């Protein structure tokens, strides 16, 4: 069609080119989020276009093709949380398996006590303030903060988990009030995350009647939120229907009797758990092959010598990067040592180690300092999301 082609307008010795707006949208979708925020001021049309659901969805689709690592640092002395992101490194057969990537500082959470991060979904992260059980959802790309309504925990500890329903395009937080010495039943509450509509906590019933003493780990896959319930079960929470079910964890072998599947990940679209035996130097990946029959498969990896520095601290697996490799890190950052993440491919049996730069050096270290140990959380598959909730 003629309207979709560039139009040349001749005026004397000058030539003006009009670019079709659909081509402008295509170009904008390839730009980083930082540039898009600046370009919102070009015109009202650009502002409304960049903020439109169509463009946000298009940008999110493109972002999934260039995923990043989400890195969260809790600086003990400052009681601040710092959010970084770094590229997911791709293995190159022609280059050394040991390399480095540069982390980018995205935002800080200066409110003291926001030191508990509960997972990441589509670029959003959920934090809980430990001291008063306040829960908030952050978008590090837009630096938007959506604080959820407070409610009284009555002295009971609370856990928060962030989930996403792709059908209704809604983000929800599941909050679990744990039992205390007076009441042996958990209470489950759900809040739909939104800054434009009224938010409220809705109590949902656990029709299974099952109880659990504590929770661990989390991941959200295709509209279903999973987290561990003690050593033997996994809670399956359907974000759309808000129903709770339980999945049994397979019996663990004796050599890992001192460990458990506390880390749950999305392994090629399926729920998976990772457990370790540091004494046997063994890591096991268990994949839920059939959710209805609760059938699991397993793959084992002997922990290599190049992970020795990880085994000295806290070996943690947070998920799988876009290449299908399992990512493992230490969970702690020491200013006197390099910070590494390790990748393992169960199919190719390839192990590689990547150093993350930019967090304990340069301007960040000059301003904040990293003299002491810092608690570190690292999640693969992070994307830039320009959506405002």
- Exposed / middle / buried, residue 87 (Cβ in 10 Å: 0-12, 13-18, 19+): middle
> What element of type H or E holds 383?
none
* Cβ neighbours for 91, distance < 8 A, ≥ 6 positions apart: 97, 323, 325, 343, 345, 350, 352
Mention every residue, 6+ apart, whose C-beta is less than 8 A from residue 185.
Answer: 179, 211
Pick the CATH number of 52-382 from 1.10.275.10, 2.120.10.30, 3.40.1180.10, 3.40.980.10: 2.120.10.30
CB neighbour list of residue 252: distance below 8 Å, 6 or more residues apart = 259, 260, 261, 275
Rg (the chain; Cα; Å): 23
**CA-CA distances (angstroms) from residue 45 to 22, 95, 169, 175?**
13, 46, 25, 40
Using DSSP, state whether 294 is helix, strand or coil: coil
Residues 6+ apart with CB under 8 A from 15: 8, 9
Parallel/antiparallel/unpaired status of strands 350-357 and 98-102: parallel
Q: What string of pLDDT tens digits covers the 389 residues of the chain?
A: 334 333 434 444 444 557 788 888 889 998 989 899 999 999 998 899 999 999 999 999 999 988 999 988 776 665 677 888 999 887 664 455 558 888 888 888 765 555 556 678 999 998 887 666 788 899 999 988 899 998 777 777 888 899 999 999 999 999 998 876 656 678 899 999 998 888 999 999 988 878 887 788 889 999 999 998 877 788 999 999 999 999 988 765 433 333 444 578 898 899 998 877 766 777 888 899 998 888 899 888 887 766 665 654 566 777 888 888 888 887 677 767 778 888 888 888 888 888 888 876 655 665 555 554 466 778 888 999 999 88
Strand order in the sheet with 215-221: 215-221, 224-229, 233-238, 243-248
Give the model confidence (pLDDT) of 164-208 as tens digits.
999 999 999 999 988 766 566 788 999 999 988 889 999 999 888
Residue 198: phi and psi, rounded to 5, are: -65, 130
Residue 239 CA to residue 171 CA, distance in Å, equals: 8
| Strand runs labelled E in 142-257 | 144-147, 158-165, 170-177, 187-192, 202-204, 215-221, 224-229, 233-238, 243-248
Copy the structure tokens of residue 111: 């409110």
């Amino acid at each position: 069609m003629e309207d979709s082609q560039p139009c040349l307008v001749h005026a004397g010795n000058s030539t003006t080119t009009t670019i079709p707006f659909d081509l402008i949208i295509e170009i904008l979708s390839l730009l980083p989020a930082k540039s898009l925020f600046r370009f919102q001021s070009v015109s009202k049309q650009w502002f409304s276009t960049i903020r439109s659901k169509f463009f946000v969805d298009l940008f999110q689709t493109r972002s999934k093709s260039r995923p990043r690592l989400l890195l969260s640092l809790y600086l003990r002395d400052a009681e601040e949380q710092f959010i970084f992101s770094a590229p997911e490194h791709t293995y190159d057969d022609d280059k050394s398996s040991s390399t480095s990537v540069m982390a980018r500082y995205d935002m800080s959470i200066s409110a003291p006590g926001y030191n508990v991060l509960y997972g990441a979904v589509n670029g959003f992260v959920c934090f809980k303030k430990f001291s008063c059980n306040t829960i908030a959802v952050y978008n590090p790309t837009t630096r938007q903060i959506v604080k959820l309504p407070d409610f009284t925990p009555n002295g009971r500890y609370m856990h928060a988990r962030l989930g996403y329903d792709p059908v209704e395009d809604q983000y929800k937080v599941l909050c679990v009030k744990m039992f205390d010495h007076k009441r042996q039943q958990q209470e489950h509450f759900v809040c739909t995350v939104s800054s434009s509509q009224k938010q409220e906590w809705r109590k949902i019933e656990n029709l299974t009647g099952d109880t659990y003493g504590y929770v661990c780990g989390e991941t959200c896959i295709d509209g279903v939120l999973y987290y561990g319930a003690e050593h033997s079960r996994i809670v399956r929470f359907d974000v759309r229907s808000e129903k709770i079910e339980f999945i049994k964890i397979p019996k663990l072998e004796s050599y890992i009797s001192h460990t458990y599947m506390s880390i749950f990940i999305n392994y090629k679209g399926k729920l998976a758990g990772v457990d370790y035996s540091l004494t046997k130097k063994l890591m096991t990946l268990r994949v839920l092959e059939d959710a209805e029959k609760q059938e699991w498969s397993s793959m084992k990896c002997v922990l290599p010598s190049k992970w020795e520095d990880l085994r000295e601290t806290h070996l943690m697996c947070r998920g799988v990067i876009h290449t299908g490799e399992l990512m493992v890190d230490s969970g702690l950052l020491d200013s006197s040592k390099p910070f590494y993440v390790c990748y393992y491919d169960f199919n190719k049996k390839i192990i590689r180690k990547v150093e993350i730069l930019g967090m304990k050096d340069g301007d960040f270290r000059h301003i904040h300092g990293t003299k002491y140990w810092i608690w570190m959380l690292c999640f693969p598959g992070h994307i830039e999301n320009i959506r405002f909730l």
